């Protein structure tokens, strides 16, 4: 399918001197330009407090591409792309601080034919989101304006509601794009196709055939330079309230009536409403101690820059979740994510029930595992179905075998970055892969009981598979990944 070309518009990035712009947003915009998926008439305006000139912004953008773009910087693309880049610095807090920016955007409309359309992108720390909205609200209304807001959207239910109210003072919900980059990942979107375009799996996608579900998002990296942010957030706000619950909703939702954005989002919200708020009694928290990952030493979380030496902030969580609806009643969802673990992998494992004939399977944990399906979000995106086949030779001995599908083998194309898909969708006004206000609020409700519960935070060595208590949580089963 040919991708749509968005209407002429200006993309205004708030937080343009920050890490996210550098690592993700600029490379995504450059690659969209290469693929002819930016509007023919476009401009990209960076805004931040850092006192840069247009030229400095372009130099920084070039550095971003050299370091982080999935394609190389070629003059034939870089030349016309960089002509569209300009930068303005200024405050966020002062009343009318965006008026000079507004004047610049109006000039660009004339010079570059962007027709008064704006896509604002709030890529700052979350504390700046409300003032950005206030400042935009003070500017004369543009022809068409939309806003992309990064995660985390609020830091609990009350603040998420307050932020939504503020956003709605200036932007109608139809103009708001709350971004969760996990929804930009090809394999996450593939859940909708895999589940609803195949007869076989949808028939068994329920409590009759599935014993339990495991979702693991394991990272090798520690908090790196983001200690200050992470101390405030912790793993539940950073990963569970958003990325993990998005994976749960795509995996667990009912078939939507159509692929229209609201039809898909309605089903996701419906699923989240059935997720029982997480129980502290079924949650294990951890924090990494020092250790080695692939031969490299990693300091303990408490020794990272910007982190309190006595911090109790969790960097790992494992929990048992329940979905109280017809499809999933009695099927536990084991969810797990952590930093500084032994390997980087995001996998969804569907464990089917043991066969009931008693011929081959025993309850012996060392016996052949029940059939299971592994959906690998990263790395090596793909799907593996593991089942039993007869071992060649005499007798009827089952042996565990695999059927594999990988994106790279099947399609032979390089995966694009999640941010490319999402920024392009926002430019085109397609909400399917963005979270709605009620969805974000429900996600906060689900995590509320464990956000501030006085739970013990277990130490685990960096490079390990996390706290051992997580194994007890899933007994008598076992984690499929990081055994």
Residue 243 annotated among the catalytic residues of the structure: yes
Beta strand 9-14 with 42-48: parallel, antiparallel or unpaired? parallel
Report the distance separating Cα 411 and Cα 231, nearest Å.
41
Report the distance separating Cα 147 and Cα 426, nearest Å.
8
Tokens 């009759």 belong to: 208
Size of the site for ligand BG6 (CB under 6 A): 3
Burial letters for 127-153: b for 16+ Cβ neighbours within 10 Å, e otherwise? Answer: ebbbbbbbbbeebeebeebbbbbbbbb
Report the distance separating Cα 228 and Cα 261, nearest Å.
36
Q: In the bound complex, what is the minimum distance in angstroms from residue 223's beta carbon to ligand BG6?
A: 7
- Cβ proximity to ligand BG6: between 311 and 346 the closer is 346
Q: In the bound complex, what is the minimum distance in angstroms from residue 150's beta carbon to ligand BG6?
A: 9
As to burial, measured by CB atoms within 10 angstroms (0-12 exposed, 13-18 middle, 19+ buried), residue 412 is exposed
266 binds ligand BG6 (CB under 6 A): no
Q: In the bound complex, what is the minimum distance in angstroms from residue 115's beta carbon to ligand BG6?
A: 33
Q: In the bound complex, what is the minimum distance in angstroms from residue 281's beta carbon to ligand BG6?
A: 26
- Cβ proximity to ligand BG6: between 39 and 234 the closer is 234
- Cβ proximity to ligand BG6: between 90 and 125 the closer is 125
Q: Report the site for ligand BG6 in 344-383 (rule: CB under 6 A).
A: 346
Q: In the bound complex, what is the minimum distance in angstroms from residue 229's beta carbon to ligand BG6?
A: 8
Q: Report the site for ligand BG6 in 287-346 (rule: CB under 6 A).
A: 346
Q: In the bound complex, what is the minimum distance in angstroms from residue 360's beta carbon to ligand BG6?
A: 37
**At residue 224, what are phi and psi to the nearest 5 degrees?**
50, -125
Q: In the bound complex, what is the minimum distance in angstroms from residue 478's beta carbon to ligand BG6?
A: 24
238 binds ligand BG6 (CB under 6 A): yes
- Cβ proximity to ligand BG6: between 219 and 420 the closer is 219
Q: Which residue is nearest to ligand BG6 (CB)?
A: 238
> Using CB under 6 A as the criterion, what x/- string covers residues 215-234 for binding ligand BG6?
----x---------------
Report the distance separating Cα 57 and Cα 13, nearest Å.
12
Task: Name the active-site residue from 22, 243, 361, 372.
Answer: 243
Tokens 């307050």 belong to: 162
425 binds ligand BG6 (CB under 6 A): no
**At residue 389, what are phi and psi to the nearest 5 degrees?**
-135, 155
Q: In the bound complex, what is the minimum distance in angstroms from residue 346's beta carbon to ligand BG6?
A: 6
- Cβ proximity to ligand BG6: between 219 and 441 the closer is 219
Interface with ligand BG6 by CB under 6 A: which residues? 219, 238, 346
* Active-site amino acid positions: 243
């Amino acid at each position: 399918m040919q991708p749509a070309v968005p209407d002429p518009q200006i993309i205004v990035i708030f937080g343009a001197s920050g890490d996210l712009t550098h690592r993700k947003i600029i490379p995504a915009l450059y690659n969209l330009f290469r693929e002819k998926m930016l509007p023919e008439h476009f401009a990209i305006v960076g805004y931040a407090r850092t006192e840069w000139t247009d030229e400095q912004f372009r130099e920084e953008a070039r550095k971003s591409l050299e370091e982080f773009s999935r394609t190389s910087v070629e003059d034939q693309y870089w030349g016309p792309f960089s002509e569209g880049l300009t930068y303005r610095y200024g405050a966020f807090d002062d009343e009318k601080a965006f008026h000079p920016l507004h004047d610049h955007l109006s000039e660009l409309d004339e010079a570059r034919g962007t027709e008064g359309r704006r896509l604002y992108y709030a890529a700052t720390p979350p504390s700046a989101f409300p003032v950005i909205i206030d400042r935009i609200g003070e500017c004369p209304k543009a022809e068409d304006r939309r806003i992309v807001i990064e995660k985390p959207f609020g830091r609990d239910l009350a603040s998420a509601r307050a932020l939504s109210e503020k956003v709605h003072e200036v932007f109608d919900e139809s103009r708001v794009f709350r971004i969760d980059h996990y929804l930009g990942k090809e394999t996450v979107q593939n859940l909708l196709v895999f589940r609803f375009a195949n007869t076989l799996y949808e028939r068994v996608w329920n409590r009759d055939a599935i014993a339990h579900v495991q979702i693991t998002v394991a990272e090798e990296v520690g908090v790196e330079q983001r200690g200050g942010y992470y101390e405030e957030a912790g793993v539940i706000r950073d990963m569970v309230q958003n990325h993990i619950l998005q994976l749960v909703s795509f995996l667990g939702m009912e078939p939507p009536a159509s692929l229209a954005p609201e039809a898909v989002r309605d089903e996701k919200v419906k699923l989240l409403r059935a997720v029982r708020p997480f129980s502290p009694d079924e949650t294990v928290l951890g924090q990494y101690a020092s250790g080695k990952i692939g031969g490299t030493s990693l300091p303990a979380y408490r020794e990272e820059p910007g982190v309190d030496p006595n911090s109790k902030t969790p960097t790992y969580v494992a929990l048992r979740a329940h979905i109280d609806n017809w499809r999933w009643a009695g099927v536990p969802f084991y969810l797990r994510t952590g930093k500084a673990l032994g390997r980087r992998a995001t996998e969804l494992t569907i464990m089917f029930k043991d066969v009931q004939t008693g011929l081959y399977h025993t309850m012996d944990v060392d016996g052949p595992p029940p059939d299971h399906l592994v959906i690998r979000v990263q790395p090596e995106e793909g799907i593996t179905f593991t089942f039993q086949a007869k071992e060649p030779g005499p007798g009827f001995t089952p042996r565990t075998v695999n059927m594999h599908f990988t994106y790279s083998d099947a399609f032979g194309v390089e995966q694009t970055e999640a941010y490319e898909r999402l920024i392009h969708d926002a430019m085109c006004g397609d909400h399917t892969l963005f979270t709605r206000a009620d969805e974000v609020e429900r996600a906060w409700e689900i995590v509320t009981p464990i956000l501030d519960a006085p739970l013990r935070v277990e130490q685990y060595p960096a490079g390990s598979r996390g706290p051992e208590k997580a194994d007890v949580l899933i007994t008598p089963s076992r984690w499929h990944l990081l055994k």
